Structure 1
Amino acid sequence: MDTATEIEWMKLTFAELNARAAADALVIVPVASLEQHGPHLATGVDIVCATGVAHRIARRMVAAGQGVVVTPCVWTGLAEHHVPFGGTVTLDYAAFAAVLKGVVRSAGRAGFKRVMLLNGHGGNAEAVAVVGGECQTEFGLKCVAGTYWHLAGDAFAPILERQSNVLHACEAETSMVMTLLPEAVRTDRLPDAHGPHSTRPEGQPAAMIRRRSFKDITPSGVVGDARSATAAKGEALLAAAAERIAAELANPKLWG
């Protein structure tokens, strides 16, 4: 094992982590959810994808000579809108914020000064941003937060056929899971893996937020169309996300 290039917190000793902290390594905390993902995907999709993206970002940064360590994924999130399907675990905001703050606080107490909350679940997006700001105020460290497909921006659109970015249990998520954990895909159910391409009713602008039960929006539990998903697309999406987000995190002005 080459500990100099190891990126996973849980695979390093306390002394190795102390050395990373002293060298001002960035801590990436993947944040996800455990919830329904249609008839064709296991419930751990967001955990798999958030972790996979985080690891690829970290490996790219380490290869460029930057110090990074990735914690295990915070696997519970805000998923009330998926509960009616079953198979979903959710927290309320207070519990969710407390868990994230506990992780960030611990990173600070371990000597780290920079943390990235890398979100992989749409229902967490606003909450993760709020918690990131509160962590800076309360713990005196530098904390950025973002959802990986928002940070990837327009990098995903050229790869996908039926959508321009991540939706839910869609072409994008299904493709990435085909790459990262193919046994989590029920390929025999792919013909049923499609639904509307938006969670908003006609006339509701993208900037206006109101959470609705996905059961009322999409009987299949899917937003988008997974029938065109492939592992090759998944590999391309992961590479695009890693390249874009690694460059964003390497910007010294971000941490000034």
Structure 2
Amino acid sequence: MNLRDATWTDVRDCETDLAVVPVGSTEQHGPHAPLGTDVIAAEAVADAGIARVNREVVRAPAIPVGVAEEHRQFPGTMWVSDETFRRYVREAVESLAYHGFDRVVLVNGHGGNVDALREVGGRVTRDGEAYAVPFTWFEAVGEHSAEMGHGGPLETALLRHCEPELVREDRMDEAQAGRADGWGEWVSHTNLAYDSAAFSENGVVGDPDAGDERRGKELLERAGDALARLLEAVAERDVSRPERR
């Protein structure tokens, strides 16, 4: 059940305690990919995972703005502080739990959200308000995960499969010309750069041309399968809090 399309009476009559919240970001993804890339990916993977389970799942609207100040030099990028983001996501989860949807998977499409979402999941779970866990799609696609950049092969591939009309194919040469090969500037296992503009001229990291539509289809299948397994595990898990030892 998608809350966007449901009525309150539909929700009242829904017999499940399992919900999915897509979480993304509104930020630059180079000259060829839209600002909403992370939201598009999170929603696509959420829907793919839900379609693969034989149980009812509530699908909440996506959270479109995340922890993305590292892209602030690029126009159109929006961001909130870690504190604001954590509080917003937590209260969104709490509102679902109030209606009985107290097993929640946060389907994430943005690397900058990862740490904050893990903290939120731990906090609401330890406080007994809900059981919440984050799932970041590009960490669940096998060997492809090693090539995750920014506006690079994985995100471009997924866009070409899910919403190809949003990829500016005529700007691919521009995306290639100003891209970085890897994320950050590393010395002694330390990243010296805080913002993407410090090491990428146009915000792209990785080779977008290495992400064709066929690869995007495979990525969505892998991420959807992984999310489905997680949804089943969350649905069946004993979520009572462990006793003090």
- Per the TM superposition, whether the score is higher than 0.5 is yes
* Count of aligned pairs: 236
Percent identity for Structure 1 against Structure 2 = 30
Note if 1:72 corresponds to 2:66.
Answer: no
CA contact (8 A) 1:108 1:139 kept: no
Residue 215 of structure 2 aligns with which residue?
233
Partner of 1:53: 45
Q: How does 1:208-219 map to 2 (within 5 A)?
A: 212-219=194-201
Amino acid at match of 1:54: A
Q: Deviations over 1:68-108 (max 9, x none)?
A: 12111100101101011121000012211121112101101
Tell me if the contact between 1:191 and 1:227 (Cα under 8 Å) persists in the aligned partners.
no
What amino acid does structure 2 have at the position aligned with 1:224?
G
Gaps of 5+ in 1: 1-6, 158-163
Query: Any residues of structure 2 matched to 1:73-88 within 5 Å, and which?
Result: 73-88=62-77
Question: What root-mean-square deviation, in Å, do the aligned CA atoms of Structure 1 and Structure 2 show?
Answer: 2.0
Given that 1:168 and 1:222 are in contact with CA atoms closer than 8 Å, whether structure 2 keeps it comes out as yes
Alignment of 1:43-192 (within 5 A): 43-61=35-53, 65-150=54-139, 152-154=140-142, 156=144, 164-192=146-174
Q: Provide the C-alpha distance between the structure 2 equivalents of 1:10 and 1:204, rounded to a whole number of angstroms.
A: 48
Residue 211 of structure 1: CA displacement? Answer: 6.2
Which amino acid counterpart does residue 122 of structure 2 have in structure 1? G
Cα distance 1:136–1:56, how it changes in 2: closer, same or farther (>3 A)? same
- Select 1:33's aligned residue among 8, 25, 29: 25
Report the counterpart of residue 4 of structure 1 in structure 2: none
How far is the alpha carbon of 1:116 from its aligned partner? 0.7
Task: Summarize the Cα distance change of 1:209–1:142 in structure 2 as closer, same or farther, 3 Å threshold.
Answer: farther
SS in 2 for 1:251: helix
Closer/same/farther in 2, CA of residues 186 and 153 from structure 1, 3 Å limit? closer
Q: Specify the code of the residue in structure 2 equivalent to 1:122.
A: G
Alpha carbons 1:18, 1:111 under 8 Å: kept: no
Which of 16, 23, 26 pairs up with 2:16? Answer: 23
Q: Secondary structure at the match of 2:73?
A: helix
Partner of 2:228: 246
